Structure 1
C-alpha cells in the first residue's frame, strides 16, 4: 500500500501545512507533524472532508447574500431622520476596512456622492444608498474581480483523452492545478477527489471552460497489439539463424536424432523414453548457428507440437524406415503445412534390417511430399541416429534451405517472440523459456506475456550460461516474472514496468469476465455413463493440473477431442503445480472432475475433496487418463485399484554410505510408514520417484512400520537423489469394484 507525506498532500491540495494538519486531526487520524504519512484511504477521506467544508462555506456565503438581499429596505428620507437616530448612526459607523453586507466599506467611494446625505449623517452611507450600491454590484462574484487585459486571440488547444480519466490526470493534461479542477467540479455539484475517474463527456465540458478542445482516443485492443506486426525497413534487417523443429511419430527417434546432433544424451532423462517437455537448443553447424526445438511426438501432445511449428522456419519430419507413415506423422505434416514452414524429411533407423526407403517415400507421396529423386521438391535424407550416418548431409540441407529462404530480422526493434515452456521453480520463482523472434531482449527489459508481466532480472542461454542480451532466433531462459505465463503465449517488451503492469491487468480483466455457471450435482467417472443415459449429463467439465504448462495444454487438447454428440468435454481450468483446495472448491462449484498429471494433491485438498464428494484422478501417463474417460463415457470401466495413503515423512538428514547408497533420515509427520508399502517421493509437490522401499530402519534395527512422531531411516530402491526437505508418501493399492 502506497503512502504520501502530509506536506506533499498539502502542496497538491494548495493548502497550508497547519491547516491540513488541523483537518487531519479533526478526522481523528494520528498525524503528529507535516512529515507524517497517510495511506490512500486516508488521503481520499481527507480530500472528501475538505471538499465538504468548502462546499458548506460556499453555501453559507450564498445564503447570507440571499438573506441580505431579501431583507434590504429603502432608506429613510432626510427630513424623517431625527437627531437621536443620527447620533446612533454616527456611533455605529463601521471603520474603514470593515464589511457591510459582505462588501468592503470605502469612504472615498465616489459612487455615493450623487445624492447628498442629510445633516448629521454625512459620514455614513444610508440604507437607500447601500441598496443602490448592491444593485450596482449584483453581478456574479467572479465578475467583481479586476479583469486583466485580454491577450490576442489564440487558436484553441486540442488534447486527446481516453474514455475515462482521473481528475488528477485531467488537470495534468490541461496544465492546471488539481485543486482548481476540483473546485470547478464542486461548483457543478460534483464532489470528486483527485483520484476519482470522470467520463469523457464531463471532461469535454470542463475543457471548454479553458478554451480547449478535446478528442477521444481510439481504444486499441491491447491483447491484439501484442502481436501487431510492425513493418521494418529493408536496411534494418540482418540475417538471422533458422529455427528448426523436429516432428514425427512417437518412438521414431526424434529425441535420439537431436541427441546425436548435440552429442549429448537427454533421452534417458525423459519419462518412458518419450519427451515430456519442449526444449530449445542452439547448435553450431559449420560456422552457422541453428536453433532446434524438440517437441514431443506423441499424439497426446498435439497442442505442444502445433505451438512449436508456429514458431519455426524449418520442420524436420522424422519417419522410421521400418514403420513408415503413422497417424502422428500425418498430423505433423498437416501442422507444418498450416504453419507454412519448409519440410525436410529425415528417414531414420536405416541401419535396421527391416528398413524400406522406397515404401516410406511412397507413403509420403500420398500426403503431398514427393522426394527430389522422384521428381518432387521435398528434401529427404536417410539417417541413422544410432550410427550417426547421414547427419552431416541433413545439417547441410538445413543450412542450404535457410540460405534459400533468406531469413532476416530487425535486431534493433523492441523484442518480441514466443514462450516455449514455463514452470515454477522453488528457488527462482517463475521461469520461462522463450524464443526471441524479433529485436534484442536485454536484462532489465520490462516484458508482458499475456496476463503475466515482470522485469528480466536474469537471462540464461540454452547451456545455462548467464547472458546480457539475446538477438533474433535465440532461445533463452528468463527470471523475474510475477507468475507462470502460458506456454505458447507471445511476449512483448513494454517501455517501462508501469506500462507492463497496466497491460497485464487489462488482460486479466478480460479473463475474469468468463464466468463458470455452477451446478449442484456432483459427477464422477463411476456414474458418468449412467448420467449420460438418463440425459442428465450434457457437458463433462474437467480441471487439469500438471507439473508444467506444456503438459496442461497437451491434456486439454487430447481430452477435448473425446467430445461427441451426447457429451461435450470442457476444460474449465488448467494450471501448474499441486492440486490445492481452491481447485477442489472450483470443482465443487462447477461440478467438475479433477485430473492430475504428474502432480499430487495437498492434504487440505484431499480432505475437502472427500467432504465435497469431488473425484480426483491422478496419472503419470496422459493416455491412461484419456482411456479412463473414454471407457467411462461408454460405460465399460473395469474394477480398478484405489490408492490408500498410509502416511508421510519428511527427509531431515542425508547419509551417504559407500556400497549401499543414500539413506534418508526422516521424521513421520502423519500416519505411518510400512516396509511393504510403496513410496512416492515428492519435491515441491512434484513426483520425482515412485517405487518401493529398499529398507526401513528404526535406529539400527529393521522395522515393519514406523508410527507418527517417530524418526526412521529409509532407503529407496535404485534411487539415490534424496534431498533434505523432500516428502516421502507411503501408500498401498486396494482393489475396488465399480
Structure 2
C-alpha cells in the first residue's frame, strides 16, 4: 500500500505486524530493498524523525526500530549466522553438518582431525616428520609435502586400519584464526613439550588456544633422549593449567616420545585414537553434498586460485559447483597430499581444489551448490555482506568504556583479559591485584592468558577469538601487530603504573569509567621563510604539508624531529594580504605564533586538538 508519508514523501507502509528481517549492520538501502522503496525517501523519513544518516551507512537496532515504528513494520535484526542460514535455505542448500540432524544409520566412521601445537624448537616439525616416516615404513599411503597444508596417515588400531588427518599449520596461529571466524576444524590437539625445557610461554599460549576451543588434548613429551630430560617435571608443570596426567588421577594422556629417534610414535598415535574414541563421536554422513572449511589458499601462476579444503561432511566430487567464502567455481580437479588426482573426497579428507574464481580466506566455509549460477549468487551476497560488515566495524569488539552497557544488554557476563608485561613479577602482581577486585555478582573477571614480552599476533588472535581486552604493562604491540589489532577491533590498553591499570579496570567493571581525551592531529606546515614584523613579531612563511592549519588551534614545533616547543597557539593566518581562518594542504601562508619567535627555516609546525572520547 502506498501512502503519503512524512514531509510528502511516498513510501510503502506496513500494517504494524509486517515483519522485515535485516542483518546486523544493514543500511537504509538494504531495508529499502526489502520493502521496495526508494532509499532516498527513507533518508528523508529518518531526517524528519530527527536522525541523520546516508543511504549506505550502517545503522544500529534502535534506529531501525524507530523507522519501523514510523512506517508500520516490525523490524527484526538477524545475526550473520542466521542470515547465512536463511541465505542457504533460500537456495535449498542444507547447511547442517552436525550428527544431531542425521539418521543414525546414515553415519559412518570418519578419521579424527589432529593439529600439532607447542613452543618453538620443541620439535613440532620433527614430530610430524617422524609420524610421516613411521607411516611410510609401514607401507601406508601418506606423507608431508609442501603442496598441501594437510595429510592423512593410516595406523592399525585394535585390528582395524584407522586413518588420521593431520593439519600441517604454522604453529597455532592459523588454528586460532580459523576459530575466530567460527570454523571448528580440529578434533584433537597434540601439545608438544620438550622434556629438557619444560613449559614455555608459547606452550601456555597453545594450551590456552586449545582449551578455549574446547578441544581434547594429548601431550607429547618430546626430546626424552637428550641430557637433562625430565618428563615428570613436565607433568607437574602442566597440572597448574588443568592438564592432569592419567597416572596422577586425571584424564589427559601423556606420551613420552623422541621425534629424533622415532621412539614411541606408535604409542602417541594410539593415544590420539583412544582419546578420539573416548571423547568424540567420529562419525559423519558421506552420502550428501559436501561441506567443510578452507585451511589455506593461494594464487598459483599455472593453476590459478587454489584452496586446501577439509571436507567435514558429505563427499566432494570433481565437477561440483562450490562456494568458499566469497569465492566460487566448479571443481576442476582434486589433488591429494602427493599431488595425485582424486575423483572424490569424503569426510575428514583434506584435498587441494582447483577451479575457484578467487582466493578464499583461511577459515572460510565451503558448500556444494546446485549449479554455477547459484554458487555465483551466494558468493556475491557473501561479498556484499562482508563489505557491509567492514563498514559497520567502526566500533571495537568490546572496550572498557562500553562494558557496562554491554553487560546491561545481557551480551556478556565475563570480562576476559590478556596480560602482557615486561617482567614476570609485574605480571603476577597485576594478575593478583585484578583478581582481588570485588565487583559483586554482575560480572566475572577472567584472565585467559598472561605472559612476558611484547604483545604478539598470537595474543591478538586469542583476543579476537575470546572477545578479550589486552593489558600491556610497559610493553606494546608494534608494527604489523598493532595494525592487525586496530583493523580487527581488538582493544589494547597500555599502562606503566600498576595502580592505574587496577583503577581503570575496577571503574570499568563498576560502570564509572570517565571519558578520555585523545590528541587528534589537524595538519602540518613547513617553514620556508621567516619575516620580521615590529607589530606582530616573527611571521613564518610556510607551506601546508598535510591536513589544514586553523587559526586558534594549538601547535607544537619540531626541529629535525625533536620537539622544541609545545602548546603554542596559531594566533594569526594570512594568505597574501588577507586574514583567513584556515589554509589547506598544498597552499602557502603566513603563520603568526603570537609571542613565540624562536623560529628557524625547515621547522615543522604541527597543529592538533584534544577531543573527548565519550562513553559508547
TM category (shorter chain) comes to 0.3 to 0.5
Q: Which of structures 1 and 2 has the larger relative contact order (alpha carbons within 8 angstroms, sep 6+)?
A: 2
Structure number with greater Rg is 1
Name whichever structure is richer in strand by fraction: 2
TM-score (norm 2): 0.47
